[in-house]
């Protein structure tokens, strides 16, 4: 391991707790961008400098600056927002952004295309709606995700409370966010004994850090893809008696670099509800002190655990806690998707989970969903909007009296989920044109690929069967493709690696089946598999299990990690 700190470490250390020269950069009128070091720091404030990549060639030809715009991510712990907050997000998207709202795989809102002169106004409007963007990105703990319906059961309420508590406890304490965006007082109290960031210190974490809370048997949060997971253990009365603690999950890897890999978390221990926040803090501080600060591609918690071992990690956490944790308790999952459509919660209130294709809330001629959701928000009394970890939204908490009115609006605006099982279980990351790291399209391509595969499924009599399909425009894994039954990961423009064999419940990674294939290659590879799945599957057998049983791919087992570029798993 090299001893030289990565460049980001120096930037963070010198930033005076995330200030850098962001404030000055906002006043710099000659460019629509900001300087490179500040681009790293604004991430901690939930803000990314991007540009429209579709316009790059033309603007380069005309010697123009890139078409800069900022992506702003709003932190929404557990995904719960009020109708008033929804209306304000909807307005901000039109007033300052690209006119669409993007619901993310981590229960957040994203705006794209906000120009520099509107940035402060946007953050202030978000703050006016009692939301913020602090720590939505950056080397800190991010938005904590959780099943989106706190009222589904008593356990859901407890798990949701934990998500909020974790999110608050692990927020950065620097006043920089308020100073820069909300015109707060410029105070940096460095008087003796004053610790600005008691949990993070001046260099924050070596890398991003993510937490999810799961309530079995649902694994809608994909808990094992997270640095840290809490898996609720519920007794017969429906109360949470504690949480299994999982550590060391993560999706990101780099093509051609076998030392980087997706990894599912290890279930390390059990803790009581009262211990959970403290356990999270100690996990974070062990990673803060032992994570790799030299190589950012090796800096996530998953590598700390791979390098030092789970036993070492658990002992390090327990030393800081001052007590031993109990062994994990039995649990099992049954799916990773959302429960779409109508559900009734334990208070007798109604919820409707709406499928939003790839989380993009926009009006189209046959589905004016942005307008529809706005109209629902205007009339929804008592209830709220819940963003899900699968890029969908739940209109939640309707009284029986209100239900027929909302039902009418759902129908009027095409918000009923009249889609195939494949489309309802499809998820793509943003990718082009805004993502600076995209190698190819995802959100703009997956819908048409699904249409073509739907034809194959329809012919095979599988229209309503659920197969989890996820696509990303690069190997970073933002739509968690390595735990999809069909995973497609951008490799080159218009070309993807195809992965198969993940478990339907998110507990087994997939493996490379075909490398660098284009649209025709993807359809050609999947068609015979879907057809034989229709003919030869066993009762209740999921597609991911089927391709393993029939020998199309080997299961990922040892260490639950793989290097996704190695073809040794294919056609085993």
Binding positions for ligand SRM, rule: CB under 6 A: 48, 50, 71, 73, 104-106, 108, 110, 142-143, 208, 210, 225, 250-252, 300, 359, 391, 429-430, 434-437, 476-480
Dihedral, CA atoms, 524, 529, 534, 537, nearest 10 degrees?
180
Q: Which of 210, 282, 314, 561 is catalytic?
A: 210
Q: Which of 43, 75, 142, 480 is catalytic?
A: 142
Annotation marks residue 271 as catalytic: no
Q: Which of 474, 511, 542, 561 is catalytic?
A: 474
- Beta carbon nearer to ligand SRM, 362 or 537: 362
Annotation marks residue 435 as catalytic: yes
Partners of 234 in the β-ladder: 240
Smallest separation (angstroms) from ligand SRM to the CB of 34: 14
C-alpha 508, offset from chain centre:
18
Smallest separation (angstroms) from ligand SRM to the CB of 146: 12
Q: Which does 153 bind (CB under 5 to 8 A by kind): ligand SRM, ligand SF4, none?
A: none
- Beta carbon nearer to ligand SRM, 140 or 251: 251
Q: Which does 434 bind (CB under 5 to 8 A by kind): ligand SRM, ligand SF4, none?
A: ligand SRM
For residue 53, give the H/E element and its range: none
Annotation marks residue 137 as catalytic: no
Annotation marks residue 12 as catalytic: no
What is the distance between the alpha carbons of residues 331 and 222, in angstroms, rounded to a whole number?
A: 14
Smallest separation (angstroms) from ligand SF4 to the CB of 76: 18
- Beta carbon nearer to ligand SRM, 429 or 548: 429
**DSSP string computed for 285-350:** HHHHHHS-SS-GGG-SHHHHHHHH-HHHHHHHHHHHHTSPPBPPPP----BSS---EEEE-TTS-E
Tell me if residue 512 falls in helix, strand or coil: strand
Q: Which does 462 bind (CB under 5 to 8 A by kind): ligand SF4, ligand SRM, none?
A: none
Q: What is the 3-state secondary structure (H, E, C) of 260-283?
A: CCCECCEEEEEECCCCHHHHHHHH
Integer Rg of the chain from CA? 23
Q: Which of 12, 43, 73, 300 is catalytic?
A: 73
Annotation marks residue 142 as catalytic: yes
Q: What angle do CA 81, 43, 294 make, to 5 degrees?
A: 135
What is the distance between the alpha carbons of residues 447 and 541, in angstroms, rounded to a whole number?
A: 25
Q: Kindly give, in sequence order, each residue whose CB lies less than 8 Å from that of residue 359, ignoring residues fewer than 6 positions away.
A: 102, 103, 104, 105, 391, 392
- Beta carbon nearer to ligand SF4, 79 or 252: 252
Partners of 326 in the β-ladder: 270
**Phi then psi for 343, rounded to 5 degrees?**
-140, 155
Smallest separation (angstroms) from ligand SRM to the CB of 376: 22
Q: Which does 473 bind (CB under 5 to 8 A by kind): ligand SF4, ligand SRM, none?
A: ligand SF4
Q: Which does 250 bind (CB under 5 to 8 A by kind): ligand SF4, ligand SRM, none?
A: ligand SRM
What is the distance between the alpha carbons of residues 221 and 212, in angstroms, rounded to a whole number?
A: 6
Sheet of 341-344: strand order equals: 80-81, 384-387, 393-398, 350-354, 341-344
Q: Which residues bind ligand SF4 (CB under 6 A)?
A: 429-431, 435, 437-438, 442, 472-474, 476-478
Count of other CB atoms within 10 angstroms of residue 468: 30
Q: Which does 553 bind (CB under 5 to 8 A by kind): ligand SF4, ligand SRM, none?
A: none
Count of other CB atoms within 10 angstroms of residue 365: 6
- Beta carbon nearer to ligand SRM, 50 or 174: 50
Q: Which does 529 bind (CB under 5 to 8 A by kind): ligand SRM, ligand SF4, none?
A: none
Smallest separation (angstroms) from ligand SF4 to the CB of 203: 24
- Beta carbon nearer to ligand SF4, 430 or 564: 430
Count of other CB atoms within 10 angstroms of residue 334: 11
- Beta carbon nearer to ligand SF4, 420 or 472: 472
Q: Which does 210 bind (CB under 5 to 8 A by kind): ligand SRM, ligand SF4, none?
A: ligand SRM
Annotation marks residue 537 as catalytic: no
Q: Which of 137, 146, 435, 542 is catalytic?
A: 435
Smallest separation (angstroms) from ligand SF4 to the CB of 499: 14
What is the distance between the alpha carbons of residues 292 and 5, in angstroms, rounded to a whole number?
A: 9
Smallest separation (angstroms) from ligand SF4 to the CB of 23: 28
Smallest separation (angstroms) from ligand SF4 to the CB of 519: 18
What is the distance between the alpha carbons of residues 77 and 169, in angstroms, rounded to a whole number?
A: 12
Distances (CA, A) of 119 to 31, 185, 220, 502, 542: 14, 19, 33, 41, 46
Annotation marks residue 73 as catalytic: yes
- Beta carbon nearer to ligand SF4, 376 or 438: 438
Q: Give me the count of residues in the chain.
A: 572
Catalytic residue ranges: 73, 142, 208, 210, 429, 435, 474, 478
């Amino acid at each position: 391991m090299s001893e030289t700190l990565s460049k980001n470490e120096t930037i963070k250390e010198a930033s005076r707790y995330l200030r850098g020269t962001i404030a000055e950069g906002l006043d710099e009128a000659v460019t629509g961008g900001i300087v490179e070091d500040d681009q790293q720091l604004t991430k901690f404030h939930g803000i990314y400098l991007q540009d429209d990549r579709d316009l790059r060639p033309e603007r380069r030809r005309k010697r123009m600056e890139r078409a800069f715009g900022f992506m702003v991510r709003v932190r929404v712990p557990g995904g719960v927002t009020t109708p008033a907050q929804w209306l304000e997000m909807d307005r901000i998207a039109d007033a300052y952004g690209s006119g669409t709202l993007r619901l993310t795989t981590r229960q957040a809102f994203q705006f794209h295309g906000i120009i520099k002169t509107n940035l402060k106004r946007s953050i202030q409007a978000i703050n006016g709606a009692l939301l913020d963007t602090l720590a939505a990105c950056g080397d800190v703990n991010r938005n904590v995700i959780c099943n989106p319906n706190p009222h589904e059961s008593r356990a859901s309420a407890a798990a949701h409370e934990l998500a909020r508590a974790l999110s608050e406890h692990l927020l950065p304490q620097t006043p920089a966010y308020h100073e820069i965006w909300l015109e707060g007082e410029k105070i940096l109290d460095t008087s003796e004994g004053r610790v600005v960031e008691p949990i993070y210190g001046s260099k924050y974490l070596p890398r991003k850090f993510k937490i999810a809370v799961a309530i079995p048997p649902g694994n809608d949060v994909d808990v094992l893809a997270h640095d840290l997971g809490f898996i609720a253990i519920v007794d017969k009365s429906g109360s949470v008696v504690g949480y299994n603690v999982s550590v060391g999950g993560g999706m990101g890897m780099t093509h051609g670099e076998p030392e980087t890999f997706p990894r599912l978390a290890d279930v390390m221990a059990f803790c009581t509800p009262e211990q959970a926040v403290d356990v999270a803090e100690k996990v974070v501080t062990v990673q803060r002190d032992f994570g790799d600060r030299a190589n950012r591609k090796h800096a996530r918690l998953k590598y700390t655990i791979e390098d030092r071992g789970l036993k070492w990690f658990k002992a390090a956490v327990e030393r800081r806690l001052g007590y031993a944790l109990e062994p994990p308790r039995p649990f099992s999952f049954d799916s990773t998707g959302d429960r779409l459509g109508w559900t009734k919660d334990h208070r007798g209130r109604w919820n409707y989970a709406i499928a939003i294709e790839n989380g993009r809330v926009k009006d189209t001629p046959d589905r004016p969903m942005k307008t529809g959701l706005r109209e629902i928000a205007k009339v929804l009394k008592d209830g709220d909007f819940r963003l899900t970890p699968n890029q969908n939204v739940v209109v939640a908490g309707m009284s029986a009296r209100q239900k027929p009115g909302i039902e009418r609006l759902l129908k009027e605006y095409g918000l009923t989920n009249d889609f195939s099982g494949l489309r309802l279980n499809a998820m793509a990351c943003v990718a082009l044109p805004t993502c600076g790291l995209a190698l190819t399209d995802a959100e703009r391509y997956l819908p048409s690929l699904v249409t073509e595969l739907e034809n194959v499924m329809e012919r095979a009599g599988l229209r309503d069967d659920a197969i989890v399909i996820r696509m990303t425009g690069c190997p970073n894994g933002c739509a968690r493709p390595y735990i999809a039954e069909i995973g497609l990961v951008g490799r080159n423009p218009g070309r993807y690696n195809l992965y198969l064999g993940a478990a339907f419940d998110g507990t087994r990674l997939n493996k490379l089946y075909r490398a660098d294939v284009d649209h025709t290659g993807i359809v050609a590879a999947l068609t015979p598999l879907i057809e034989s799945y229709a003919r030869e599957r066993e009762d209740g057998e999921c597609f991911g299990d089927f391709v393993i049983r029939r020998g199309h791919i080997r299961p990922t087992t040892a260490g639950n990690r793989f290097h996704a570029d190695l073809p040794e798993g294919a056609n085993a």
